[in-house]
Amino acid sequence: MTIIYKFKGDISSDALKELEKHSNISLDTEGSGLQIPHRDRLSLIQLSSGNNDAYIIQPSQQYQCPNIVKILENEKITKIGHYLRYDVLNLQYFLKCQVKNIWDSKICSKLVRTYSQNHGLKDLVQEFCGKKLDKRLGSSDWNKNLNELTDAQLQYCSNDVIYLHKIKDALHKMLVRENRLELYENCIQFLKTRIKLDQSGFTEDIFQH
Ligand code: MN
């Protein structure tokens, strides 16, 4: 069973102290849609230390989350996510911060799992954790009051963070084995620029002919 901690506004200072003990924290965000920031907004932030726990935070409309920002900006804590191109833009725009030290399982999967066409989180959870993720609740109204979210919805958004540590370990080993660690690191380096391009409206692939 996943231990779920719910927070309104920001994580508590006790939760911050607990999370700061870990060198890897997984993260995910839910928004009201995919058009961040012009149409849609950040609804929920999920964090996990990797010990089958999920911290689910519903920020206020003012987005004042100094404790979460401390984790995001901490160079010593690796933030693991899947398709961080979306989540980092979401967090940096609404929380007005810089997300430092990131690790992306989707980019990594595309570089090493060349035997597959499927690089969704669902596919990675299946392959490395032997679990079937139910993604049906993905299109939920995450802006409704945190206390009104159902157990199924809370479990759904926890599932997006609790498996990422294990996936990172497995994919990292594959990156080393396939000799693509440097290539991966260069891609992650470029992700910051990719996000700036998205934010400036250059959503197409600028390298394409
Ligand atoms: Mn999610």
Model confidence over 114-155: pLDDT tens digits?
999 999 999 999 999 999 998 888 888 999 999 999 999 999
Q: How far is the CA of 14 from the centre of ligand 1 (A)?
A: 25
**Window from 19-23, 30-34, 159-163, 175-179 with minimum mean pLDDT:** 30-34
Mean pLDDT (the chain, rounded): 96
Strands, E assignment, the chain: 3-8, 24-31, 42-48, 53-58, 78-81, 102-104
CA 209 to centroid of ligand 1, rounded, Å: 33
Tell me the CA–centroid distance for residue 30 and ligand 1, in Å. Answer: 5
What pLDDT digit, counting tens, does each position of 36-45 carry? 888 999 999 9
CA of 27 to the centre of ligand 1 (A): 9
Output the CA–CA distances (angstroms, integers) from residue 74 to 2, 9, 20, in the order listed.
25, 20, 9
Helical spans, DSSP H, in 20-119: 66-72, 84-95, 105-112
How far apart are alpha carbons 92 and 37 in whole angstroms? 10
| Residue 120 amino acid letter | G
Number of H helices, E strands in the chain: 8, 6
The CA distance from 109 to 75, in Å, is 23
Q: How far apart are CA 195 and CA 84, in angstroms?
A: 9
Residue 71 has a pLDDT of 98
Return the pLDDT at 128: 98
> What is the separation of C-alpha 76 from the centre of its chain, rounded to a whole number of angstroms?
17
**Cα–ligand 1 centroid distance for 68 (angstroms):** 17
Query: Would you say how long the chain is, in residues?
Result: 209
Q: What average pLDDT score do residues 103-108 get?
A: 98
61 burial via Cβ count (<10 Å: 0-12, 13-18, 19+): exposed
Q: Determine the Cα–Cα distance for residues 209 and 201; give it in Å rounded to an integer.
A: 18
Q: How far is the CA of 114 from the centre of ligand 1 (A)?
A: 24
Q: How far is the CA of 138 from the centre of ligand 1 (A)?
A: 7
- Using the mean position of ligand 1's atoms as its centre, give its distance from the Cα of residue 46 in Å: 8
Task: Give residue 81 CA to ligand 1 midpoint distance, Å.
Answer: 10
Output the CA 111–ligand 1 centroid distance in Å.
Answer: 22
Q: What's the CA angle centered on 118, arms 164 and 142, to 5 degrees?
A: 55
Report the alpha-carbon distance of residue 116 to residue 145 in Å, rounded.
39
DSSP string for 116-135: -S--SHHHHHHHHH------
Q: Is 26 helix (H, G, I), strand (E, B) or coil?
A: strand
Q: 80 CA to middle of ligand 1, Å?
A: 13
Calculate mean pLDDT across residues 66-72.
98
Q: Could you tell me where the DSSP H helices lie in 20-64? A: none
DSSP bridge pairs for 24 = 78
Residue 200 amino acid letter? S
How far does the centroid of ligand 1 lie from the alpha carbon of residue 19, in Å?
A: 20
